[in-house]
Structures are given as C-alpha cells and as structure tokens.
C-alpha cells in the first residue's frame, strides 16, 4: 500500500471534511432539529399481520394537546407509494402486515401523541396469514392484493444467454443446491426521521434523511398532488443509510399530511423498535443454483432461480434481481446462463435497497455453489476460479462491457495474503469468494447524472455546490480533494454546499456505489473549467498567451518563470471581477456516464461504465463443541480503479466487511406469523468491536479510463463476497456446507454432527 | 414536558453549568440533556442501553444516559460531548484522534463512542488493542467496522501519555 | 425525546425502614429502583406495570463491600464494575469477577447492581450461578426485621423470588471459601459482548488429597430459575478429576437442565451447550483449586 506520488492530494489519507462537527456533537441530525411550534407526529400501526379493520378516532381527538388525528379517509386523494405504486401511506380497511400504517396523530409532545395513539379504537377481523412464500404460491392461498390474485408480482425477471439447460445436461460435472438468505436490518444508528412544514396550501418544505432528495421531490409532488416545483427538500446530517433511504416511505407522506392538517411543522422520529418493525430490510431470498463444467473445470452452465419474499408491499427490494443479474450473467466467464426471479406477496416485512442491492445474496449462492462444484469435480476451488476469470475487453452474456478488470490480481493477492496453501490445523478452514459489481454508476433511471457547480471567491475559498448526498461514506471529502488537486487550494479553504434541492443540481441519489464516480467526474470537470477561466485571466494579467501560463500548486506563473513571481488563485479571481464588465470564476458541469439503460425484458445492456472486482478470503477456526466460528484473519483485495482518499476507502471496506460478517454469522430478523420477535439491538445482533477479526486490505489499481483519476465506485463492494467467503471457509473447517444464513453456532454444530 | 405525574424539581450540573427544571419522574437523563439543557450532541440510538450512542459521564462514570432517570442525576455532575474540549474550540486528544484516524463516518455513534473512549482511557491509559475492543464493547457502530476507532483510541492514548511524560 | 414511560411516581426513602414501609404500603404497584438497567427498559417495553418506583439511591452504605467476620458482604447496591475492581472479591471469589465482567457492557456495569441482577430473577442473569455454588445468602430487610435466605432457595420462577411485599434485598453474604477450593463461571453467548447467555454454568470444587471432596454446579438460562445440578455434583464426590469424569457429570447436568427454545437457541442446542460448559467449568474450577490457573 504505497502512497501515490503522482498527485498532491489524490490517493492520500485525508480526514473527512465533516469529521470535526461530528466529533464535537455539533452536527445537526434529524432529531436535533427544532422548528418553532413543531408538533410530534406518531403512527398507529397494525396489531395483526392480515386483517380487515374498522377504526374510531373520536376519543383520541378529544385528548387535550392532540392537534390532529388522520386516517386514510382524511386525505382520500393521496396516491400510493412504491415503484409498483401498491403502497398507500395510510391503509384503508385492510392491513397486510404489522408495519401497516392505519392512523397517525400530531400532538404537542411525544407523551400526548402516545396517549392519543393508545386511545384510537381499532376492531380487527382476522384474515388467514400468508407468511410463507410456498404457501403464498399455492392455489387457493388467501389473496393479499386484488391486483395480484396469485400473490405473485406481475413484474418478473427472466434472463437467458445460450442454452443453459442443454449445457448443464451435457456438463461433465454439475451440482445444484438451494440457498436461503434471511431478512436483515440496515440498523442505521440514527432511526428514521422526517419533518415537514407548509407555507400555504401547496408549498412544502421537508426536512429529511433521504438518499434521493430530487426523486423525493418528484415522489412527494405526485403522491400529494401538488406541483413538485413547490417542494423543497432539505437534508439533515444523515446518521447512516446504506440504501434504506433510497425510497419515499409512508411515514414521510404521513409527516407531510399531519403538517398540512395542523398548519404547523410536524416531525416523526422512530424509536428503535419502530425502526426494526417499520423500516425496510435487505431482500430475503430462496435461491437455487446449478453450475456445470467440463473435465478441465471450464464453466459451461449456470442456472439461477430466485424466489423473493416481497412482503406486504413493494419497495426497491422487488427490483433487486435486476442487480442479481450482474453476478449471475457476468461473475466469471460462463457461456450459458439463465436467471429467473419471481417476487411473492406475503404478510411479512418488505425489503428495500441495502448496500449491494441483491448482489450479496446472489454472490453467496453462486460462490458457495462453485465451491460445491469444485468438490464434485475434484478440482481445487482456487484452480476452478482461475480457469474462468473475467478479463479486460470482455463483453459478458448480459452485454456488460468490461474495460478494466482486476479479478485475477485481486484473487491472487488475496489468496497469497491469507496463505491459502498453508496446511490447516484441526477445525481450521480457509475460503474465499469473488465479486463483480457496478463501479461506474448504474443507469437504473433514464438519468444517471449529477451536476456540480464550482465557484472561487476573492479570497481563494472554493465552494462546491452539489445535489449529491453525504451519508457518511465520504463523498464530500472526495469532492474537496478533487477540487484541491485541480485548483491547488488547501482543503481547509474548500467548502461543500449540499443537502438542499433548491440549490443542488439533479442527482439520481446515493446508490450503486455511484457517487464518488459520478459526482467526482462532475467536480473534476467543473474544476477544470474554472481552471481554464483562471488561466485565461492570469494570462491577461501577465500579458502572455494562455498556453504560456504554468499552473502549479495554486500558483500561476509564466512559462520559464518562477512560482515566486506568480499569482495565487485568489488574486487571479479578483482580477476577473473587480473591474468593469467583470466575470466570476465559476463553472457548472453535469456529468452523465456513458452507460446504458438495460432492456427490461432481456435485461441486456451495459448498465455501468465500469465494473468493480474484489476477492474476500478468510481463515476460520470452529469450536467443534459449541459450533462457534472464529474468524482468525480476513483479507479483502479490491479492484478500486484508483484510490482517491485512502483513509475513506479503507473505512468503506472495513465497514462493509463488518456488515458482511454480521450477515454471514449473526444478523437475523426472526419473524413468527409476520411478527418480528427481535425488534431490539440486544437480540438482533450487530457485530461489536470484539467480534471483528484482524483485517488486511489490498488495493488493486487498474486505472479505469472513465473514472475520476481512474477510480471506480466502491461503496458496496466491501460486503458483497463476505458471506460467501466465510461460508466456504466454514465448509473447509467442518466438511459440511451450510446454505442458510446466518451461519449460527447452532447450525454449525448440527452440521458437524451430520458429518459424523 | 407536560407529564401528568407529579413534577419534581431537580438540578443537574452539565459541563459545569447548573440546570434546574421540574421534570416528570420518568424523564431519562438523555432527555434532560437534550431537551432541558438543549445539548444535542448526545444521540439516542436505542433508548434501552444497547447501543452506547447516549454515553455520558455521571459523576465521572460512563453510563448510558437513556437508562438513567433524570431524578437520579439530581445534584450530580454530568459531562457530555460538548464538555470535553478546551476553550477556543480546542479539542480533546480523543476527539482529535477520531478525526485524524478516520474513525468517523456517519457520526451518529461518535459522541458516545468518544465519551466511552475517554472514560476507558482513564481506567486504562496504556491499553492493548484487545483491551480497547473490550472497553468499547457497549458501543455500536454500523459504519466503520471499528478498526479505525480502535486505531484512534490507541493513537489518543499514545499522545496523551507523551504529553504526560513531557510535563513530568 | 427517546423515552416515553408510563405515568409513575418516584420515592426516595432515606433509610431502609422508610423504604420497607413504603414498599409494604404500595404492594404490587411498586418496584425497587437500583441501577435501573433492567427496570427502565422493562417499563418502557411495558413488561413492568407499576405506578411507583422506590429508589434506593439515598440509602447510605447499601453499596458497601466489606469483610463480615470470615465472610464477605457485598451491598446490594454495589455495581458490577465496582465488584469486579475490588481486590477482596478477587481474592475471595475470582470467578465472581469473571461473571461480573461477562455481564452486558462496560457502561451498563457502571450502573447495574448485584442486588438488581439477583432480585430481577431473570433466568439468564450472570451472577446467581456463581453465587449459588459459593453458598451465598441474601439478606432481606422487611418491615419487621431481617432474614437471610440461601440464594439457591431464593428464586421461585422467571422474575419471581422469595421476597415479600415490603422487603428489600440489602446485601449478599458469601461465606469464606474452603481451602483448596476453586470456582469458575463459563458463559456462552451469540456475540462476544453485550449479549445474554444462551447458557451459563458455574462450578465449585473442593479438593482433598487429589480427590474432589465436594462439588457444586449451577446452571443459568436453562431453567425457569438458576438451578443447582445436584446429581451432577454428587457424581464427582471422592473421585479423581479427569476429563471422563467431567464428561460424565456434564451429561448428568444436561438431564438436570430444563431449557426452553427461544430466539437465542433451541432447547436441544442449550442442552449441548450445558454439557460443554459444565465440563469446561469443572476443568477450570479444579485448575483454580490446584492454584494452577487464574483467569
């Protein structure tokens, strides 16, 4: 891990630009917001998984201090949410899950709001629960929604390339297994928050922790039936998101409606239990995978069949197969591939986007299954991978165009660092897994763009105005570093202005590991435009041709001259506008990457302008008496294109690995008849400091032609192959395969006994 | 706060300043800090003592302020994240180390984590990495994987010890 | 505004007598507030439905740790961290230090008291098993005076104890541990910190001439109450310590456990864990009795 000398700032370790306000407690998170006259909003949720209901709010309305009580009847014209628009913010007459919103109150304080919630009278008439995807798919199963009489979403995925069934039949070795992926929670340390304030009947300001400010503006306009041009979204400092805030949710609409009804600002802040029950989850899945290969270990067939529990309504979880298709079609070279996915309505929780967006689930199934194939074929798992590596220049079955590809380098570096060939002690295991993920944006909407404005003031202060969202991942710092590199201005003179749809330009949102790539490119190009302006101005001042101006470390000087006689950025900036008919040094660049919207039927198209690769490898020791898995060492080697902020990228990978370890070994939302049994941080187990193994990170810099300075997006990569690597290592230790996550001590012990 | 029970007048000294208010018997210390003293650096992550985001010092001991009743802090001294730096915006060495080492991402757990780290280093000024991990065992972080947090605590320990040595 | 608690009145009696009188008067409407780490969460989750809290905060000396003749007396208000840091405790019963350190998290141990850990009578509590094998008694102060109860007889069911209305648990008395004896506490949880026990096993052995003279084994989280595994202990008497012997005792302990299936583990898995922990706890206790190992 050598420091990069090619650049002044890029590649160095730079503390986050927002670190100080966060270290001093000055950062204003949602629950720190104080608006004059603000009321407390609270939501009444269903006490049944599936039931018809009637409601009486009259007692609640009479409680002193209660300002408004609303139900679906209050604002009947409000439209549904969700990408299938199947989710009303307030449910009318029927609930389909414990999270379903049936009424809401606004009151002068939380205690009164709670009292009012308790005073609302609801009579339920139970309907049969449908909490199991197999049951939901049976003929005559109770129907959740009229628009889906078979409980299956109309929207399906079917991708095929070649003739996978024939190829599998003809394969020398083949294996088929089914893998089960559990519900897990994002567990942002900050629970969900929204506040809303109206100015007249159709002008709305929302204070939000959203990851999609501009899409939220659109969603709110459509759902509330007011012009989106009258809506302003102001984002708070966001205490973690990881994809959970990528959609617009019922509680946000309800906040707006309560504020409208009361004519006062209203906030809704979840507590931890509500966060567990009523925010989105990672998409659970049952995945059956088959692989076939030749005698030499050349992969010839992959068939991937996923059934997803869609829960009661649709958020982005239902679209995760779109991204599952990337590893299914393109992780290693496989000539014949099929992916099918169907989504089934149940009375369980519904899933949203969560770091990796379906890819960790798919990669767990694929990479576990490849180890199983290796065993059947009698080929070392590493050797099997080596014979099928992706390569630069390849076009994959899904028409992904691989420009740079560090798969081979990542794998070799990771297995070397984990000492793959070292003999194993008893109950010790070693395993690894690979990944591919979008690394150059992802065109999920028509636009994958983002706009950035850079201005330089008289004093050399650079302000970057952006619509991009900082959720802790460090984009603001990356933008500041890029500006510092390009304009030679020290980091402390750079500020980032974001979090407001009124001045931030359109951004498609924080998803798909896109922000540093997309916004980085926009920042880079805007800075270069400003630099041109400054060079031109400096040339005028020096009375030379612009081509003869040298710009180095923030100083302009004539070619052949010395920096000591040069002009600094602030002076050049002043020379531009402290004059008649002056100009202000500033520029706007809107960057939209060269990638394609995939055809929704065939799922083909180059969705990202580059792809990130990575390998996770680990060594584990299993306690054969308790089944407890201890990770002795964890190695992550990633093709990151180019490191922008070494400190930031390390943090992203460390954090991803921690979430991946939790996914693999501990985290599990346990539902019984649709009811979550562990809605707390005691029994929903996140990894803590003592659970983390020693980690080694390896960066493979493949210098991507489209990335800013060659960088690829890396925000999600850190957890994509983690669970698969751990499962493969556990199999190596105990000689039995665990196909259901999480790999709990209890399952491990049962598996050990099964082998005996 | 308009709780219906009897209100109790209490005085809690927070960061050296006395705050007196009539509170309900069930108000927790976090709410007193956030709503009465209007110090919003102390965050609420769970309200049940499981996440550590609300860690403060109560008479010098680190506690989850969400599971301490405000009335139990009557007459006591509380220190919050806002009370650990020096004058003129000077930072505590642990704060500085968290910034320098990249121990902060979303920042929501950070105030509690820093408070616990400071308290831990008072008990154990020269810890091993394993001891640091044990010392932070009640503080959840969802972003960092704890690696840089542990680095930061070790770095802060070194710096604080170096300062102490030079003073001698 | 993180906490919405039901309407409650709080009382801060200045001495035990006043506390007992109040508790007697309020009966089932009151709970004792000590560290509050369980109680405040119980109230918030509405598991505890009371309208009065009787705080012990003003009562002098209720947190005192002191010698009492040859015994050790630990005030009910002593926090887990103070007990773990106390050198008398470390000499007297080092396994109690281990048990204290295995509880919850650092911050919670700054608040959580030994009295609360016992009186809450949560089946998975970490301190009762080791105190039971150490023959500890609890002292209860009531309106009419004091009484002492052997801890093994104190628990009556999940969250139910022998305490009568008006009684306060004031201290825990641990008798002097016999010479050549050793104790240990082994806990298994699904995370390395801040986790409730799937199972916990405490063991004490007293050695004589290379044989086990006496033994005690207590199981936590695998029955409605912390429970002595008496038959398992009896199987060890006058035997030479060996892995086989401990395995035999462990198998008996499993039969004495009555675990349930819950979110932390199935009954079957808990039995497996009891077996492993019992053997490991016995190995450790013997090692300590021989002065070979101090954790």
In chain A, what are the domain boundaries? 33-127+189-240+245-278, 285-443+598-755, 449-591
Q: Does pTM surpass 0.90?
A: yes
Question: Residue A242: its chain B contacts at CB < 8 A?
Answer: 142
The answer to whether residue A54 neighbours chain C at the CB level (below 8 Å) is no
Contact C193 A109 (CB under 8 A): no
- Alpha-carbon distance of C118 to C133, in angstroms, equals 14
Chain centroid to Cα A116, Å, comes to: 36
User: Given pLDDT bands bounded at 50, 70 and 90, which one contains residue B167?
Assistant: low
Both tokens of A724, joined, read 């698969």
Q: Where are the alpha helices (DSSP H) in A129-249?
A: 133-137, 164-170, 213-224
Q: What are the pLDDT digits (tens) for B144-154?
A: 999 999 999 99
Helices C267-289 and A745-755, axial angle in degrees (round to 10):
90
- Residues of chain C neighbouring B44 (CB-CB closer than 8 A): 2
CB contact under 8 A, C276 and A625: yes
CB A228 within 8 A of CB A218: yes
- Residues C60-111 have pLDDT tens digits of 899 999 999 999 999 999 999 999 999 999 999 999 999 999 999 999 999 9
CA atoms C67, C71, C72, C73: torsion sign: negative
What average pLDDT does the structure give for chain C?
93
Element (H, E) at A497: strand A494-497
The set of chains that have 3 or more CB pairs under 8 A with C is A, B
Give me the sign of the Cα torsion angle C107, C112, C113, C117.
Answer: negative
C-alpha torsion A422→A423→A426→A429, nearest 10: 40
Q: Nearest residue of C to residue A662 by CA position?
A: C191
Beta-carbon separation of A691 and C276 below 8 A: no
* Nearest residue, CB atoms, C265 vs list A109, A688, A746: A746
Task: State chain A's mean pLDDT as an integer.
Answer: 96
Q: Do B106 and A692 touch (CB under 8 A)?
A: no
Residues in contact with C181: Cβ distance below 8 Å, sequence separation at least 6, in sequence order: C204, C205, C206, C207, C289
User: pLDDT digit string (tens) for A612-650?
Assistant: 999 999 999 999 999 999 999 999 999 999 999 999 999
CA distance A395 to A538: 47
Nearest to A425 by CA among A562, A617, A233, A630: A630
Please report, rounded to a whole number, the percentage of residues in chain A having pLDDT higher than 90: 97
Give A175's strand partners.
A291
Angstrom distance (rounded) from CA B37 to CA B78: 11
- CATH 1.20.210.10 given to domain C65-174: no
Domain boundaries B7-83, CATH class? alpha beta
CA A401, chain centre distance (Å) = 23
Beta strands in C25-159 (DSSP E): 30-33, 52-55, 65-68, 71-75, 137-142, 145-150, 155-157
Predicted local confidence at residue A476, as pLDDT:
97
Reported residue count of chain C is: 295
Rounded to an integer, the average pLDDT of A469-489 is: 97
How high is the pLDDT of residue B5?
A: 60
Q: What is the pLDDT of residues A53-92, one digit of tens each?
A: 999 999 999 999 999 999 999 999 999 999 899 999 999 9
Strand pairing class (A39-45; A266-269):
parallel
pLDDT per residue over A517-526, tens digit each? Answer: 999 999 999 9
Q: Residue C44: closest CA among chain B residues belongs to which residue?
A: B48
Q: Which fold has domain C181-289?
A: Enolase-like; domain 1 (3.30.390)
Q: Is residue A463 within a helix (H) or strand (E), and if so which, with residue range?
A: strand A462-466
Query: Cβ–Cβ of A109/C196 closer than 8 Å?
Result: no
pLDDT score for C42: 85
The per-residue pLDDT for range C122-179, each reduced to its tens digit, is 999 999 999 999 999 999 999 999 999 999 999 999 999 999 999 999 999 999 999 9
pLDDT for residue A465: 98
Q: Tell me: the pLDDT tens digits for A532-572? A: 999 999 999 999 999 999 999 899 999 999 999 899 999 99
CA triplet A607, A610, A616: central angle to 5 degrees?
110
DSSP A299-345: EEEEEEEEEEEEESS-SGGGGHHHHHHHHHHHSS--SEEEEEEEEEE
pLDDT tens digit sequence for A220-243: 999 999 999 999 999 999 999 999
Instruction: Tell me how close the Cα of B117 comes to any Cα of chain A, in angstroms.
Output: 12
Give how far the C-alpha of residue A691 lies from the chain's centroid of Cα atoms, to the nearest Å.
24
Whether the predicted pLDDT of A2 surpasses 90: no
Domain locations along chain C = 9-54, 65-174, 181-289
> Position of tokens 């270990």?
A297
**Which fold does the domain A449-591 belong to in CATH?**
Aldehyde Oxidoreductase; domain 4 (3.30.365)
Is B21 in the C-facing interface, judged by CB distances under 8 Å?
no
For residues A668 and A184, give the distance between their C-alpha atoms in angstroms, rounded to a whole number.
5
| Interchain contact B27–C (C-beta under 8 A) | yes
Pairing of strands A611-622, A428-438: antiparallel
Q: What is the pLDDT of residue B41?
A: 98
In the predicted structure, residue A733 carries a pLDDT above the cut 70: yes
How confident is the model over A350-382, as pLDDT tens digits?
999 999 999 999 999 999 999 999 999 999 999
Beta strands A611-622 and A101-107 are unpaired
CA-to-CA distance for A632 and A629, rounded, in angstroms? 9
- Domain A285-443+598-755, second-level architecture: 2-Layer Sandwich (3.30)
CA angle B40, C36, C174 (to 5 degrees): 140
The string of pLDDT tens digits covering residues B44-99 is 999 999 999 999 999 999 999 999 999 999 999 999 999 999 999 999 999 999 99
CA–CA gap between residue A69 and residue A257 (Å, rounded):
10
Classify A649 as helix, strand or coil: helix
The radius of gyration of chain A's CA atoms, rounded to the nearest angstrom, is: 27
- Residue from B67, B116, B123 to probe the interface with C (highest C Cβ count within 10 Å): B67
Residue B1 reports pLDDT greater than 90: no
pLDDT of residue C293: 52
| The predicted structure's pLDDT at residue C1 | 40
Nearest-CA neighbor of A354 among A314, A320, A306? A320
pLDDT bucket at A4, cuts 50 / 70 / 90: very low
Closest CB from C7, C105, C111 relative to B68: C111
Residue A1: the pLDDT is 39
Q: What residues of chain B lie within 8 A of the CB of C1, using their CB?
A: 31, 34-35
Q: What is the pLDDT of residue C294?
A: 46
Task: Kindly state whether C193 is in contact with chain A, defined as any CB-CB distance less than 8 angstroms.
Answer: yes
Percent of chain A with pLDDT over 70: 99
Per-residue pLDDT of A265-320, as tens digits, reads: 999 999 999 999 999 999 999 999 999 999 999 999 999 999 999 999 999 999 99
Chain B partners within 8 Å of C194 (Cβ): 50, 137-138
CB contact (8 A) between residue B48 and residue C194: no
Q: Neighbouring chains of B at 3+ CB pairs within 8 Å?
A: A, C
Phi-psi region of C88 (alpha: psi -120 to 50; beta: other; left: phi over 0): alpha
pLDDT confidence bin for B26, thresholds 50/70/90: confident
Average pLDDT over residues C6-16: 87
Spatial contact of A458 and A497, defined as CB atoms under 8 Å apart: no
Mean per-residue pLDDT for C18-35? 93
Query: Does B7 touch chain C if contact means CB atoms closer than 8 Å?
Result: no
- Total residues belonging to chain B: 168
Delimit the domains of chain B by residue range.
Answer: 7-83, 87-167
Is the Cβ of C246 closer than 8 Å to some Cβ of chain A?
A: no
Q: Does C14 touch chain B (CB under 8 A)?
A: no
pLDDT recorded at residue B81:
98
Task: Say yes or no: ipTM exceeds 0.90.
Answer: yes
Closest-CA distance of chain A to residue B50, Å: 6
Is A33-127+189-240+245-278 a domain of CATH 3.90.1170.50?
Answer: yes
Helix (H, G, I), strand (E, B) or coil at A568: strand
**CA neighbours closer than 13 Å in the CB half-sphere of residue A42:** 22
Return the CATH number of the domain spanning residue range B87-167: 1.10.150.120
Non-local (6+) Cβ contacts of A718 within 8 A are: A636, A638, A652, A653, A654, A655, A656, A657, A659, A660
As a whole number, mean pLDDT of residues A391-410 equals 98
- For the C9-54 domain, the top CATH level (class) is alpha beta
- Mean pLDDT for all residues in chain B: 94
Q: Which tokens go with B148?
A: 């840089």
Query: Which residue of B44, B106, B139 is in closest CB contact with A240?
Result: B106
B99 touches chain C (CB under 8 A): no
Q: How far is C-alpha A527 from the geometric centre of its chain's CA atoms?
A: 28
| Neighbouring subunits of A (3+ Cβ pairs under 8 A) | B, C
Tell me the CA distances in angstroms from A78 to A9, A74, A91, A257, A269, one per residue in order. Answer: 50, 9, 11, 9, 22
CB-CB neighbors (< 8 A) of C186 in chain A: none
**Closest residue to B146, CB basis, from A21, A187, A658:** A658
C180-238 pLDDT, tens digit per residue, is 999 999 999 999 888 899 999 999 999 999 999 999 999 999 999 999 999 999 999 99
- The reply to whether B67 touches chain C by the CB within 8 Å rule is yes
Instruction: Give the integer Cα–Cα distance in Å for A545 and A560.
Output: 13
Shortest distance, CA B74 to any CA of chain A (angstroms): 22
């Amino acid at each position: 891990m050598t420091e990069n000398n090619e650049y002044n700032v890029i590649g160095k370790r730079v503390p986050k630009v927002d670190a100080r306000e966060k270290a001093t407690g000055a950062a204003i998170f949602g629950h720190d917001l104080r608006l004059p006259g603000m009321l407390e909003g609270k939501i009444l949720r269903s006490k049944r998984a599936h039931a018809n209901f009637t409601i009486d709010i009259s007692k609640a309305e009479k409680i002193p201090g209660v300002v408004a009580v609303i139900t679906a009847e209050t604002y009947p014209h409000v439209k549904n949410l969700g990408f299938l628009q199947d989710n009303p913010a307030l449910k009318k007459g029927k609930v389909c899950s414990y999270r379903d919103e049936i009424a809401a109150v606004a009151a002068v304080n939380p205690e009164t709001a709670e009292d009012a919630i308790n005073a609302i009278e609801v009579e339920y008439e139970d309907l049969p629960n449908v909490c199991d995807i197999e049951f939901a798919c049976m003929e005559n199963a109770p129907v959740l929604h009229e628009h889906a009489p078979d409980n299956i979403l109309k929207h399906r995925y079917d991708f095929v390339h070649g003739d996978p069934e024939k190829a599998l039949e003809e394969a020398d070795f083949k294996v088929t297994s089914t893998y089960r992926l559990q519900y897990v929670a994002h567990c942002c340390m900050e629970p969900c928050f929204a506040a809303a304030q109206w100015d007249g009947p159709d002008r709305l300001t929302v204070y939000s922790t959203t990851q999609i400010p501009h899409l939220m503006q659109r969603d709110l306009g459509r759902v509330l039936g007011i012009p989106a041009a009258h809506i302003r979204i102001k984002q708070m400092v966001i205490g973690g998101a990881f994809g959970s805030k990528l959609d617009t949710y019922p509680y946000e609409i309800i906040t707006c409606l309560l504020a409208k009804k009361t004519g006062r600002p209203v906030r809704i802040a979840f507590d931890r239990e509500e966060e567990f029950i009523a925010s989105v989850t990672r998409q659970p899945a049952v995945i059956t995978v088959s692989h076939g290969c030749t005698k030499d270990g050349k992969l010839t067939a992959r068939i991937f069949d996923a059934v997803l529990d869609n829960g009661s309504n649709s958020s982005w979880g239902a679209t995760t197969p779109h991204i599952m298709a990337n590893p299914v079609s393109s992780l290693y070279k496989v000539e014949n591939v099929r992916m099918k996915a169907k989504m089934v309505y149940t009375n369980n929780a519904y899933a949203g986007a969560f770091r990796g967006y379906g890819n960790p689930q798919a990669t767990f199934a694929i990479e576990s299954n490849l180890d199983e194939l290796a065993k059947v074929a009698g080929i070392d798992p590493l050797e099997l991978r080596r014979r099928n590596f992706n390569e630069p220049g390849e076009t994959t079955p899904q028409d992904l165009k691989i420009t740079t590809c560090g798969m081979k380098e990542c794998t070799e570096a990771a297995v070397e660092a984990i000492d793959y060939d070292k003999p194993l002690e008893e109950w010790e295991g070693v395993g690894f897994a690979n990944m591919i993920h979008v690394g150059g944006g992802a065109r999920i909407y028509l636009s994958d763009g983002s706009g950035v404005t850079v201005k330089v003031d008289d004093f050399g202060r650079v302000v970057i105005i952006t619509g991009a969202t900082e959720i802790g991942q460090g984009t603001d710092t990356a933008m500041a570093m890029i500006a510092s590199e390009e304009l030679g201005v020290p980091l402390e003179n750079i500020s980032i202005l974001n979090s407001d749809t009124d001045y931030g330009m359109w951004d498609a949102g924080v998803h798909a590991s896109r922000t540093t790539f997309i916004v980085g490119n926009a920042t880079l190009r805007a800075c270069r435009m400003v630099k041109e302006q400054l060079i031109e101005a400096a040339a005028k001042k020096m009375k030379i041709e612009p081509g003869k101006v040298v710009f180095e470390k923030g100083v302009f000087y004539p070619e052949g001259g010395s920096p000591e006689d040069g002009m600094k950025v602030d002076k050049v900036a002043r020379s531009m506008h402290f004059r008649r008919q002056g100009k202000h040094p500033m520029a706007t660049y809107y960057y939209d990457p060269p990638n394609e919207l995939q055809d929704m039927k065939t799922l083909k198209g180059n969705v990202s302008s580059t792809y990130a690769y990575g390998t996770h490898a680990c060594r584990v020791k299993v306690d054969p008496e308790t089944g407890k898995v201890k990770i002795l060492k964890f190695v992550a080697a990633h093709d990151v294109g180019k490191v922008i902020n070494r400190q930031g990228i390390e943090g992203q990978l460390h954090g991803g690995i921690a979430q991946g370890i939790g996914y693999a070994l501990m985290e599990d939302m346990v539902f019984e008849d649709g009811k979550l049994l562990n809605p707390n941080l005691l029994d929903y187990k996140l990894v803590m400091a003592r659970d983390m193994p020693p980690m080694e990170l390896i960066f493979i810099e493949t210098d991507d032609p489209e990335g800013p300075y060659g960088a690829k997006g890396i925000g999600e990569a850190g957890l994509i192959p983690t669970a698969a690597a751990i499962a493969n290592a556990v199999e190596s230790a105990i000689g039995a395969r665990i196909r259901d996550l999480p790999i709990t001590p209890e399952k491990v012990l049962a598996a050990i006994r099964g082998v005996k | 706060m308009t709780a219906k029970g009897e209100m109790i007048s209490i005085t809690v000294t927070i960061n050296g300043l006395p705050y007196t208010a009539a509170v309900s018997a069930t108000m927790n210390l976090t709410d007193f800090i956030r709503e009465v003293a209007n110090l919003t650096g102390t965050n609420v992550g769970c309200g049940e003592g499981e996440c550590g985001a609300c860690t403060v010092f109560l008479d010098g001991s680190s506690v989850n302020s969400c599971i301490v009743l405000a009335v139990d802090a009557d007459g006591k001294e509380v220190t919050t994240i806002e009370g650990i730096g020096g004058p003129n915006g000077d930072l505590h060495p642990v704060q500085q180390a968290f910034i320098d080492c990249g121990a902060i991402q979303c920042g929501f757990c950070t105030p509690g984590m820093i408070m616990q780290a400071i308290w831990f280093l008072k008990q154990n000024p020269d810890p091993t990495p394993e001891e640091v991990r044990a010392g932070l065992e009640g503080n959840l972080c969802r972003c960092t994987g704890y690696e840089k947090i542990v680095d930061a605590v070790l770095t802060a320990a070194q710096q604080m010890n170096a300062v102490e040595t030079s003073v001698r | 505004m993180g906490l919405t608690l039901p309407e409650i009145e709080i009382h801060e009696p200045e001495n035990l007598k006043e506390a007992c009188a109040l508790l007697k008067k309020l009966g089932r409407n009151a709970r004792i507030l000590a560290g509050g780490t369980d109680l405040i969460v119980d109230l918030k989750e509405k598991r505890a439905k009371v309208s009065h809290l009787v705080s012990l905060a003003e009562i002098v000396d209720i947190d005192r740790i002191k010698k009492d003749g040859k015994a050790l007396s630990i005030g009910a208000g002593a926090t887990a961290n103070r007990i773990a840091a106390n050198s008398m405790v470390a000499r007297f019963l080092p396994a109690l230090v281990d048990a204290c350190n295995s509880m919850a998290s650092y911050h919670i141990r700054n608040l959580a008291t030994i009295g609360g850990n016992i009186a809450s009578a949560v089946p998975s509590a970490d301190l009762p098993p080791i105190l039971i094998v150490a023959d500890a008694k609890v002292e209860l102060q009531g309106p009419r005076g004091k009484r002492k109860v052997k801890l093994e007889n104190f628990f009556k069911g999940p969250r139910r104890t022998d305490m009568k209305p008006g009684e306060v648990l004031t201290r825990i008395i641990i008798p002097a541990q016999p010479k050549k004896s050793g104790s240990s506490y082994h806990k298994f949880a699904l995370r390395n910190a801040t986790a409730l026990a799937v199972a916990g096993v405490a063991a004490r052995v007293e050695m004589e001439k290379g044989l086990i003279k006496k033994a005690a084994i207590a199981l936590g989280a695998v029955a409605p109450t912390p429970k002595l595994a008496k038959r398992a202990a009896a199987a060890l008497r006058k035997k030479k310590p060996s892995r086989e012997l401990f395995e035999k005792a462990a198998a008996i302990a499993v039969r004495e456990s009555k675990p349930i299936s819950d979110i932390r583990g199935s009954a079957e898995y808990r039995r497996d864990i009891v077996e492993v922990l019992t053997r490991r706890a016995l190995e450790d206790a013997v090692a300590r009795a021989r002065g070979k190992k101090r954790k």
